[in-house]
């Protein structure tokens, strides 16, 4: 009798516990990793996870993108502006493969993302089942790590490890592939959500900064006559902006940044030489190639910076600090290589530096300022009422700089003009697909940034080519009440490719005009600066998505139209007609030609 009573009580207690399945466990594990927003598009193999997400709607916001690529780019926008791991979800097969570009982008730009894909049931894997793709194999080379969950009890551990790998060391994307039968399997008891990890050989924590190397760097600084700080995205990922600023101001060393490093040092500070490289400033490139000490912090010596790497920065000693050992000596040999967290390394330098270590740089600054005066970043006044894209971005900066906006860009001419003419004074305000150069990045990245930063001004500076690649995300802006402002520089062409056609192919248009194929512009025979009729009609498209929009053609009306966009309470598309004849000026380092880099 007593035994029967005990069994009844035990059964009663068991029934009082909520019944959970594998999908519920995964969602709970996400929440325990601090996830508050997920960009997720449902399908047959991920339906149980979406059901689980509805059970946790008060703890975890699910945003429905209109395409899986939009979802992962949005997760990147979330991650790039917060430093936290961005999370997205897709179904198996085509849903999973639609994440591939975003995974490659996150890998190249060291962006922490966890992408979760549904998978067919374990018994169907390898049978070419409906909507099956071996997504782990597809993405093996473009992820930092990847998982195919095969055991129910591994779900919490895999989630914990995925977030640790994504955010630690050099950040990057991690893929979790989750078979449907494990999603629906019921738990007999509640799991441990903080299990021990099993990552043999993964030791991302950098070693402590060696005091001897700190002294070596400071000795090199003291001896230098023409030092320069060359700063990349590692400065932003390691949250090193404050220590960098302190070191730069103490030493008075000029600072130049890569495309990924924009915002790590205030662009409006007199010590900033702005961006270097293929589309950087003349004075930054001259300074790099004249420097006797190159302090390369958090950079990878990318080809768009170096040109012919054998001729890049050949006159000086190189100090390279990076937390990824694989980057040291990969493209350029360093005289003082330091594997360390950049923020910790800069803090050690700042703690150790004395007045005796400071270089005398008056002559160096005189030389740099002569280059600045002789070769400023400039564009020609057209002498007409057309809106040049460079002017448009300058006016955008004038009207928004005091609002500290977050700015995403697509890829192409508008991306480079934004990097040149919008001055960022703080980190994590600039979002660019820099390593991969993925068109269609701007709008969904801005969408993710807006979700992560409610109440802040978020702008997508886009081109008409890039914008159309993920234009469906306008629906997400409306339905999720995300007031992103789209600043659309519309020249009716694939501008950067067209620019190369002008330089290398006698302006023969090889499918770079985005209008009807029977239009004179399609072959480069057109003469109009801007077209009377533009295709497509972005205003009507935006209005069809429930978004306020306006087209502007004249410089006279542009400032007011821009102010109207910025004052709008919801999302807005400002279609800015620009002449397509404008080129991004290439400021090539070391006397190379643009052909050396593009066609090498």
Catalytic residues: 68, 130-131, 180, 496
The Cα 395–Cα 373 span in angstroms is 22
Whether cis (ω within 30° of 0) applies to the bond prior to 139 is no
**Strand intervals (E) in 215-271:** 227-231, 255-257
Q: Do the Cβ atoms of 182 and 117 come closer than 8 Å?
A: no
Residues 73, 75, 79, 82: is their CA dihedral positive or negative? positive
**Half-sphere exposure of 207 toward its Cβ, with a 13 Å CA cutoff?**
8
- 51, containing H or E segment: helix 47-55
Chain centroid to CA 565: how far?
24
The gap from C-alpha 114 to its chain's centroid, in whole angstroms, comes to 15
Which residues, listed in sequence order, are joined to residue 39 by a DSSP beta bridge?
63, 88
Bridge partners for 575 per DSSP: 488, 551
DSSP three-state, residue 21: strand
Residues contacting 405, CB < 8 A, separation 6+: 429, 456, 457, 458, 459
| Partner residues linked to 548 by β-bridges | 572
* Residues with Cβ within 8 Å of residue 511, at least 6 apart in sequence: none
What stretch of H or E contains 52?
A: helix 47-55
Closest CA to 107 of 82, 81, 79, 133: 79
Q: What is the DSSP string of 220-236?
A: HHHH-SSEEEEE-THHH
Cα within 13 Å of Cα(590), Cβ side: 18
Residues near 445 by Cβ (< 8 Å), separated by ≥ 6? 73, 74, 76, 77, 80, 408, 431, 433, 460
Dist. CA 337–CA 320, nearest whole Å: 5
């Amino acid at each position: 009798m007593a035994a029967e009573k005990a069994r009844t009580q035990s059964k009663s207690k068991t029934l009082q516990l909520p019944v959970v399945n594998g999908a519920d466990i995964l969602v709970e594990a996400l929440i325990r990793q601090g996830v508050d927003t997920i960009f997720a598009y449902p399908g047959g193999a991920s339906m149980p996870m979406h059901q689980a997400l509805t059970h946790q709607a008060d703890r975890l916001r699910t945003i429905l993108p209109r395409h899986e690529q939009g979802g992962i780019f949005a997760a990147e926008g979330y991650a790039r502006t917060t430093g936290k791991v961005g999370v997205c979800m897709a179904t198996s097969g085509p849903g999973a493969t639609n994440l591939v570009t975003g995974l490659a982008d996150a890998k190249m730009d060291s962006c922490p993302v966890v992408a979760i894909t549904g998978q067919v049931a374990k018994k169907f894997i390898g049978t070419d089942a409906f909507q099956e793709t071996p997504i782990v194999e597809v993405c093996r080379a473009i992820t930092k790590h990847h998982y195919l969950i095969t055991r129910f009890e591994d779900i919490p551990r895999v989630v914990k490890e995925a977030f640790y790998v994504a955010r630690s060391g050099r950040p990057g994307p991690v893929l979790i592939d989750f078979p449907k039968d494990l999603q629906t399997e019921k738990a007999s008891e509640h799991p441990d959500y903080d299990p021990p990890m099993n990552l043999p050989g993964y030791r991302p924590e950098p070693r402590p900064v060696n005091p001897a190397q700190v002294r070596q760097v400071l000795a090199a600084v003291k001896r230098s006559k023409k030092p320069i700080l060359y700063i990349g995205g590692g400065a932003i990922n390691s949250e090193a902006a404050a220590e960098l600023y302190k070191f730069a101001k103490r030493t008075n060393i000029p600072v130049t940044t890569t495309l990924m490093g924009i915002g790590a040092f205030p662009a409006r500070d007199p010590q900033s030489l702005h961006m270097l490289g293929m589309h950087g400033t003349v004075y930054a490139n001259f300074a790099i190639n004249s420097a006797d000490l190159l302090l390369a912090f958090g950079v990878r010596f990318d080809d768009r910076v170096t040109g012919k790497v054998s001729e890049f920065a050949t006159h000086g000693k190189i100090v390279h600090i990076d937390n990824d050992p694989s980057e040291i000596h990969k493209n350029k040999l360093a005289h003082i290589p330091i594997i360390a967290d950049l923020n910790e390394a800069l803090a050690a330098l700042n703690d150790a530096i004395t007045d005796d270590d400071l270089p005398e740089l008056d002559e160096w600054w005189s030389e740099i300022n002569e280059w600045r005066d002789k070769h400023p970043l400039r564009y020609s006044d057209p002498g007409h009422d057309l809106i040049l894209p460079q002017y448009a971005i300058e006016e955008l900066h004038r009207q928004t700089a005091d609002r500290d906006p977050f700015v995403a860009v697509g890829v192409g001419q508008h991306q480079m003009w934004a990097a040149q003419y919008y001055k960022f004074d703080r980190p994590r305000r600039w979002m660019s697909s820099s390593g991969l150069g993925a068109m269609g990045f701007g709008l969904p990245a801005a969408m993710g940034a807006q979700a992560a930063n409610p109440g802040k001004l978020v702008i997508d500076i886009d081109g008409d080519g890039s914008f159309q690649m993920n234009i469906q995300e306008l629906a997400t802006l409306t339905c999720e009440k995300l007031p992103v402002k789209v600043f659309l520089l519309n020249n009716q062409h694939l501008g950067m490719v067209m620019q190369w056609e002008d330089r290398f192919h006698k302006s023969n248009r090889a499918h770079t005009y985005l209008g009807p194929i029977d239009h004179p512009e399609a072959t480069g025979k057109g003469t109009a600066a801007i077209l009377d009729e533009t295709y497509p009609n972005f205003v009507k498209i935006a209005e069809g998505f429930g978004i306020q929009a306006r087209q502007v053609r004249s410089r006279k009306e542009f400032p007011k139209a821009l102010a109207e966009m910025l004052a709008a309470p919801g999302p807005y598309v400002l279609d800015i007609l620009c002449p397509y004849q404008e080129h991004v000026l290439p400021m090539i380092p070391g006397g190379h030609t643009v052909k050396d880099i593009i066609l090498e």
